[in-house]
Amino acid sequence: MDELEILIVQAASYIQVLFEAASVIVVAAGGIAFARAFIMHRKSDAEPVARRILGKYLIVALELQLGADIIATATDPTIEELAKLTAIAFVRTFLDYFLVREIREERVEDKTSET
């Protein structure tokens, strides 16, 4: 490997770690926001509101993790790594899709119950 390629791989490795750390921070912030929303909304609607808030944080965390996985695969593009990335991307996209869908459904339910 020439020096530029080594530098790029090292930079990508640091960026991957930053994405993973950001994902952990987002999940932790989501947990705090969930607890806060649950405490602040002591009414019967506390759980859906808190879950919707946590879901939004989890969606961002999943996207950050997927970004970290893409970076890792870009620096070591073996068939095995590509297969793992495909499986991980599928699972995370699946989770993301259903989180977004659940949040939308709860939002619609909240609007119809308000009227």
Q: How far apart are CA 107 and CA 49, in angstroms?
A: 9
Summarize the confidence of residues 51-73 as an average pLDDT. Answer: 88
| Average pLDDT rounded to a whole number, residues 41-55 | 77
Lookup result for tokens 């932790």: 28
The Cα-based distances of 34 to 46, 74, 115 in angstroms read: 10, 34, 26
Please tell me the total count of domains within the chain.
Answer: 1
CB atoms within 10 A of CB 39: 10
Share of the chain above pLDDT 90, in %: 22
Window from 2-16, 20-34, 38-52, 75-89 with minimum mean pLDDT? 38-52
- As a whole number, mean pLDDT of residues 60-70 equals 89
Report whether 64 contacts 23 (CB < 8 A).
yes
User: Which pLDDT does position 87 carry in this prediction?
Assistant: 85
Look up the domain containing 42 and give its range. Answer: 3-114
**At 50, is the secondary structure helix, strand, or coil?**
helix
Using the predicted structure, report yes or no on whether residue 15 has a pLDDT greater than 90: yes
